[in-house]
Amino acid sequence: MKDAFLLVYRNIRERKTRSILTMLGVVVGIAAVIAIMSISYGMEESITEQLSEMADLIIVRPGKMSFETGYLELGSFTDRDLEDVERIEGVKKAAGMVGGMQEVEYRGEKVMVNIAGTEPMDFGAVFGERIVKHEEGRDLRDNDRKVCEIGYSIAHDYFDYEIGVNDRLTINGSKFRVVGVLEEQGGFRSNVDSQIYVTKSDALDIFNTKDIATIFVRVKEIGDADEIANEIEERIDDNHKLDDFSTAMTMGSAVESLESIFQMLQVFLVAIGSLSLIVASLGIMNTTLMSVMERTHEIGVMKAIGAKNRNILSLFLMEAGVVSGIGGVLGGVAGVFAAKVITIYIHAAFNVEIAAIVKPEVLLGGVAVAVLVGILSGFYPARKASKLSPVEAVRYE
Amino acid sequence: MIHTENLSKTYRMGDVEVQALRDVNLEIQDGEFIAIIGPSGSGKSTLLNIIGCLDKPTSGAVFIEDIDTASLSENELAEIRREKIGFIFQQYNLVHTLNAIENVALPMFFAGVKREMRLKRAEELLVKVELGDRMYHKPAELSGGEQQRVAIARALSNDPEIIIGDEPTGNVDTEAGNLIMDILDGLNRDGKMIIVVTHDAEIAARAGRTKRMRDGRVLD
């Protein structure tokens, strides 16, 4: 066995450039598949993790999502809707949010920003268990007037000048003092980064309305969320005497549908990655065929001195297997590396934190697939080599 | 003992049929040193290839120790080549990626002999052909005569009874050729059957018996 490997190794080394190029094909194929799988596992994990934090949340919006019309908003909620929702059994907390896009001025620069107004005591319902921490400053308080908390991107990216605590923004003609800057959220909570939070009474002033744009509901039992969501829709629709006036979306069902989308996406991406493996296997076949052709004479000699067909077959299969096996190992390393680089890039470009998850079974599977691909694509040339007639092969120069 | 019965071989080269061997009947005794001479195209290499189990006859039979080789499968023929026959080519035909000792050990590798045993025996054989100091040289680093001696050592690797040489001295100078013939003589004295094809009358003279071939026939 050791000598067989020696023989194989010498032959691979003898055709160094070609072997490396063939190997490279396998490296790219395996690396692509492993990187894709690791990143999509990481994405799935981070999305479901973020969403499951919100699994007890039901977001109620006035309007309906449909494929024909997109999101169709039919009006807004009233205090009565909010009170009715709070009374539904199983609801832990409900909070109404008043808000919308509004022009905000800072040092002469005007930008449209989403303003969200809610009672400070209701933040728990809006943000859930995971408290949004401050980079600087403090939370809003119930009796605060004309002050605001701003999201990370508002503070750092929206305006030419950085905004900090005690700076003043002009919203709809009134000055608002910044009391807090929130930490960067990113991912599914990236909307928090680009919002300005004010108290509900200030928001009512700004928008000159009593209408509630969104109701955030937290349920006691996650398992009841779907049922409660249905009930919320029914109550509110009754209040407004309209079918389909409201949409109550549970995050739990969002998690499920996202997971199935991810599985499909994974299959699709891996299929694309596998294409490069098919190309690589053609490369192996080609290289092995060339190797067989060039070594016809040598094969003849080996047969003349007593090599059986299966000796020759196994030598060439090993050669293909070793080349693709090494390619597989290097591809695994390259895949892990590529996954890291891509997640860094995703973080830089989209501000989404994804930790690539490299599963050992994926790595081992990748190497195994590489060896298998090598042996399978080496089989035809190897068999061809083993079937050569010794007398003709020896004569071949 | 080897004997052939009405051995014939026909090649087809395009539309032309070439009769390389015609009804060859030949008997070679164990321990005999026989030289087959004749002009090129007389069929001597074809005869050697068929006796050496590299090729199959079109008709007729070859018996090696009463085994009808025509009835054997490819694998069984490979086993005969491996165990009973040592082949020496005019072009040496060493595996150029392997050094001398690895080349000599190769037939034992195919025979499944353990590594230490292989290397030990390969070393002994190289010493026997006076290449004890060249064991780790690649073929490209050896002279033609040295390469041929490595090839002889390789032919002896599985201790076969029959050594077949197809113009073994054809590519080397006289001095190296004489050394090679001395080695073959020695092997013959040790009891090996030696069959050599040559067109060098001097070489043929060293054989115990000489057979002349012409147009695919063995002349008496």
Residue pLDDT, tens place only, A355-375: 888 889 989 988 998 899 889
Task: State residue A284's pLDDT score.
Answer: 87
Average pLDDT estimate for A115-128: 77
Contact assignment for A307 to B110 by CB distance below 8 Å: yes
* Residue B172 located in a structural domain: yes
- Chain B residues in contact with A297 (beta carbon < 8 A): 93
- Chain A residues in contact with B83 (beta carbon < 8 A): 306
Q: Of A302, A320, A324, which is closest to residue A386 (Cα–Cα)?
A: A302
Q: Is the pLDDT of residue A4 over 90?
A: no
> For residue A388, what is the nearest residue in chain B, using CA coordinates?
B74
* Residue B113 located in a structural domain: no
Average pLDDT estimate for A119-147: 77
Structure tokens at A12: 């691979």
- For strand B33-37 and strand B193-198, is the pairing parallel, antiparallel, or unpaired? parallel
* Residue B133 located in a structural domain: no
Average pLDDT estimate for A89-112: 87
Task: State residue B131's pLDDT score.
Answer: 94
Residue-range definition of the domain harbouring residue B169? 2-98+141-218
* Residue B114 located in a structural domain: no
* Residue B106 located in a structural domain: no
Average pLDDT estimate for A291-318: 91
* Residue B86 located in a structural domain: yes
Burial letters A293-321, b for 16+ CB under 10 A, else e = eebbbbbbbbbbbbbbbebbbbbbbbbbb
> For residue B153, what is the nearest residue in chain A, using CA coordinates?
A305
* Residue B108 located in a structural domain: no
Which residues face A177 on adjacent strands? A147, A168
Structurally, chain B folds into a number of domains equal to: 1
* Residue B123 located in a structural domain: no
Structure tokens at A22: 């063939």
Give every CB contact of residue B116 below 8 A, 6+ residues apart in sequence. none
Contact assignment for A304 to B52 by CB distance below 8 Å: yes
Residue pair A163/A181 in contact by the 8 Å Cβ criterion: yes
Residue pair A201/A98 in contact by the 8 Å Cβ criterion: no
Average pLDDT estimate for A122-133: 69
Enter the ipTM: 0.93
Residue pair B24/B217 in contact by the 8 Å Cβ criterion: yes
- Chain B residues in contact with A298 (beta carbon < 8 A): 95-96
* Percentage of chain A lying above the pLDDT 70 cut: 94
Looking up residue B8, the CATH number of its domain turns out to be 3.40.50.300
Cα–Cα distances in angstroms (integers) from residue B25 to residues A69, B37, B47, B187, in the given order: 97, 16, 11, 26
- pLDDT averages per 10-residue partition of chain B, 220 residues: 94 88 94 92 91 93 92 93 94 92 94 92 95 94 95 95 93 90 94 92 89 90
